[in-house]
Structure 1
Amino acid sequence: MMLSVQDLRVAFARERGAPVEVVHGISFDLEKGETLGIVGESGSGKSVLSLATMGLLPRTARTSGKILLEGEDILTLPEKRMCALRGRKIGMIFQEPMTALNPAMRVGDQIAEGLILHKGLSKSAARAEALRLLNMVQIPRASERIDSFPHEMSGGQRQRVGIAIALALQPELLIADEPTTALDVTVQAEVLDILDDLVTDLGISLILISHDLGVIGRIADRTLVMYRGDPIEQGETARVLRAPSHDYTRKLISAMPRRVRNSLQGVQHG
């Protein structure tokens, strides 16, 4: 088992009054080479769940339950151990690449940085690997764009750079937090296809977080629906889309354009 989340609860301390719990008893398992989609509207706790898995919650957070990464409970690990796991075991693609990327660094240098620091590669070897990764995520004219700054690239290209950075240390688990937000439909589909290919070709496990069931339905094997921090329903994506058991899931599906809704009725994964 790559990841097992067991009765995870997250609360945030306040200056006055009792802590406010924002994630209420989430549990799921994720196998190697599997994609789990986590869907829900803003404020449902999706991103808090991802930050807990990365060990990046703020100091005001209080957690209980377990997050087992190949049997090792992330919630009990010291920061030094978590630093060793981030990038090498767990990679993350953040929601907005323009803010996640350093605007003053060329994208090739940003990809190479982790390779030099954590793998001890020389600058020339790290640059060669950065170029390979840019080609892997299908950056056009990668040999030219490797020296571009983030503002010189389109939103879709910046997101691909973010994927390349997350993949640089060859993590076994990848968390993609709203990776297609603010991208047009065509680019969105291309990014999702890249993520799906990475799972297939590299055998990594993927957690895909989105507010859009249409995005989740394209590549997720299983889906977890969240609402206000609660796990509303969970199951194989095809089953959730065809025969949702909770009224909230049905409303999410009915809110999608009919064309998208009809196309997802035939979704099959696994």
Structure 2
Amino acid sequence: MILDVRDLRVSFTREKLPPVEVVHGVSFSLERGKTLGIVGESGSGKSVISLTTIGLLPGTARASGQVLFDGRDILTLPERELCKLRGNRIGMIFQEPMTALNPAMRVGAQIAEGLVLNNGMSKRAARAEALRLLDMVQIPRAAERIDSFPHEMSGGQRQRVGIAIALALKPDLLIADEPTTALDVTVQAEILDILDDLVSDLGISLILISHDLGVIARIADRTLVMYRGDEMEQGPTEDILRRPGHAYTRKLLDAMPGRVRASMKENG
């Protein structure tokens, strides 16, 4: 078990007002080489859970419970230890690549930066590795695009660069927070296929966060359904799709186009 979250509660403090709890006693686990999907509408606590897992909650937030990554509790680690885990052991793909990427740096340099600073690679070796990663995430004509700026690339290409950055230091756990938001369905499918291949080929574990149950259903082994900070249900994705146990999950399924819903159930 690479990740074991127990009774996680997250609250935010407010000046002269009582704290507001936004995640209410959520528990889940993730095996090595498997994918967990966390699904729910905006405000359900999905992104807060992901930020807690990587130790990036803002100063106004307070978390309790346990977030055991490879046996170590993320919630009790000092910042120096968390910095060693981020990137090296836990990678993060953020929701909007245009804001996650540095607009003033060429994409190859952004991928290579962590390799130079963390792994001590020479700039030439890091550039070669950046090119390999761009090929891995299926950037067309990677040798030409390595010196592009983010604004010169499409949304799907920028998301691929974000994946390459997250993979550069070979993490054991990858967190993808809404990685297909604002992408058309064709590019969305390509991104999901890349993530699925990374799990199977590299043996990494993946947390895939989305408001779209169809996205989760495509590659997740297990699914956690969230609503307003509460766990509605969790279990094998096939069981969630075929036999949803909670009314909210059924509403998520009913809100999808009939043809898509039927295809999801058929493919399990």
RMSD across aligned positions (CA): 0.5
Q: What does residue 246 of structure 1 align with?
A: 246
Letter in 1 for 2:84: A
Write the deviation string for residues 99-130 of structure 1: whole angstroms up to 9, x where unpaired.
00000000000000000000000000000000
The answer (yes or no) to whether the contact 1:225–1:231 under 8 Å persists in 2 is yes
8 Å CA contact 1:106–1:149 kept in 2: the answer is yes
> Counterpart of 1:21?
21
Residue 232 of structure 2: SS of its match in structure 1?
strand
- The two structures have a TM-score, normalised by structure 2, of 0.99
Aligned AA (1:203): G
CA shift digits 1:194-222 (9 cap, x unpaired)? 00000000000000000000000000000
Question: Where does structure 2 lack aligned partners over 5 or more consecutive residues?
Answer: none
Offset of 1:258 from its aligned partner? 1.0
Residue in 2 that maps onto 1:86: 86
AA paired with 1:253? L
Distance 2:38 2:27 in 1: 12
SS at match of 1:206: strand
Residue type of the partner of 2:158? R
Secondary structure of 1:182 counterpart = coil
**Residue 172 of structure 1 contacts residue 204 of structure 1 at CA under 8 Å; is this kept in 2?**
yes
- What is aligned with 1:234? 234
User: 8 Å contact 1:213–1:252 — kept in the other structure?
Assistant: yes
Deviation at 1:16, TM superposition (A): 1.6
Runs of 4+ in 1 over 2 A off after TM superposition: none
State the partner residue of 1:55.
Answer: 55
Match of 1:155 in 2: 155
Separation in structure 1 between the aligned mates of residue 80 and residue 67 of structure 2, nearest angstrom: 17
Aligned pairs, how many? Answer: 268
CA shift at 1:18, angstroms?
1.5
Rounded to whole Å, the distance in 1 between the matches of 2:149 and 2:259 is 38
* 1:32-181 matched pairs, under 5 angstroms: 32-181=32-181
State the distance in 1 between where 2:142 and 2:85 align.
Answer: 29
Q: Is the 1:112–1:123 contact (alpha carbons within 8 Å) kept by the matching residues of 2?
A: yes
Which residue matches 1:12? Answer: 12
Point out where structure 1 has 5 or more consecutive residues left out of the alignment: none
Q: Secondary structure at the match of 1:19?
A: strand
**In structure 2, C-alpha distance between the alignment counterparts of 1:62 and 1:193, rounded to whole Å:** 36
- Aligned partner letter, 2:120: G
Identity %: 78
